Amino acid sequence: MEALIALGDVCLSSFAGLGLSDSWLKQFAEEDREVAQMLLDEVHTISSEAFSDGIIKLIDEIAAERPEPDRKIALYCERPIKRVFGKIPAFFPGTRKGRAEGPGVAPVVANPLDQEIGSEGIVAQLITSYCRANPEVALSHPGPSKLRKDRVSHIVIVTDLIGSGDRISRMLESLSVVATLRSWESYKLIKFIVVAYASTDQGLARLSYWPLKHEIRSVMACPTIYTAFRGARLKLINSLCHRYPAKRQGNPFGWEGGGALLAFSHGCPNNAPAVLWSTANGWQPIFRGRTTLSAASAFRINETELLARRAERLLKTKEIRERLDTADGELWLLAMAVLGASEDGARGERNFSARLGLPLVGIVGILALCTAAGWILKSGALTIQGRMELRRLRRRQRPRPVFPSHSNPFYYPSQLRAP
């Protein structure tokens, strides 16, 4: 059952109790602070350990799928690719036509005019470490000559987040321009797989139309303002993001309006709401410059603590932690959180994953259990039994009369005095 839940695969937290969040909230008008706190409560933070563990598990799965044990997989970190005279260049220089030969490409390419390295630096280091630990299984950024020599079976693009899908689509196009790779793929000699820690529905929809045949595997669905809120609450969040920071240029929900509510220990994505990272008009954001250094403590939290917090918000009860003391408390709490999310409108595995911040593999197992119990339908909607279970839970959490006992006797005066 532990494998079903896989709760330890994700380390998330909220910003409750951080002085940083207090100073951020004070910038809002008093009547907007409750809505701002509501937004901040839904920001998922991913620790460096959870990030590397999640990516490595997905790569291990791909390595286990090799058709022959002596064949290897090739790992490449996602990188920005610019058009040259309106065309996407071949991934390996000079390979648009004919037989591809030559060395590989550098894992990270720095612009001499801009020495900043983004998340690709973190991903490239992770790939290097994996290949050093598994030299008989994986290659780091090999060129066409090495791909041919080692009879590579999978080309794997690794990234932290598929947001808009723009960068991944350009990289897939760049790979498809290589004539040799197109030939190998047509003869089913090689597979293209994109591995991401999190992915948005927007990004997956964009990539679904890409002609190069590929798979996308992610640890979890990326939470966004569109998965975390609905109805009146979504309208309030929408209004807040449009008004703060004041008079800011650009989309208030980040790149291409993504509205991602997620931050990694190595940085906040550019498709997160601007109110979290913009410095326009002197605004003091949570993630200044989209770095997470000032909010480092938010990335260190006990996973059970986080689950309890999110369950409390969904189930509207303050004593949920008592359920964690039993042997099956974590499983029970996960099931109740799923019911709470269903009641709040969550539908589909990805939507539940985004709402609860849990790995897709764990969500699949919990949904199956809740369906087998008759609490939810296959669509994710609550059944009558599911609604009754939530009502029973909330009734149990109401104040109960307390009676004296030997361990907790009531105080009463033993001697009375005349007034």
> For residue 104, what pLDDT is reported?
63
Cis peptide before 245 (omega within 30 of 0): yes
What whole-number distance in Å separates Cα of residue 280 and Cα of residue 300? 29
**Hey, what amino acid is at 19?**
G
Enumerate helices (H) and strands (E) in the chain, giving the number of each: 16, 7
Where do the H-state alpha helices sit in 6-88?
19-25, 33-41, 48-64
> For residue 297, what pLDDT is reported?
56
Cα 277-282-283 angle, rounded to 5 deg: 35
What whole-number distance in Å separates Cα of residue 48 and Cα of residue 264? 7
| Confidence (pTM) | 0.77
Residues 6+ apart with CB under 8 A from 256: 163, 164, 166, 202, 271
What whole-number distance in Å separates Cα of residue 408 and Cα of residue 415? 21
pLDDT digits (tens, 9 = 90+) for 14-70: 454 455 678 889 999 999 999 999 999 888 888 888 899 999 999 999 999 999 999
* Per-run averaged pLDDT (10 residues), the chain, 419 residues: 39 48 88 92 87 94 94 93 87 83 64 53 91 94 92 95 91 91 92 95 88 89 92 93 84 91 90 92 87 62 56 53 51 82 88 86 85 85 85 63 48 49
> For residue 357, what pLDDT is reported?
82
What whole-number distance in Å separates Cα of residue 85 and Cα of residue 88? 8
Place of tokens 């000079």: 94
Residues 6+ apart with CB under 8 A from 304: 7, 324, 330
**CA distances in angstroms from 68 to 56, 97, 121, 191, 322, listed in the order given:** 20, 29, 31, 14, 50
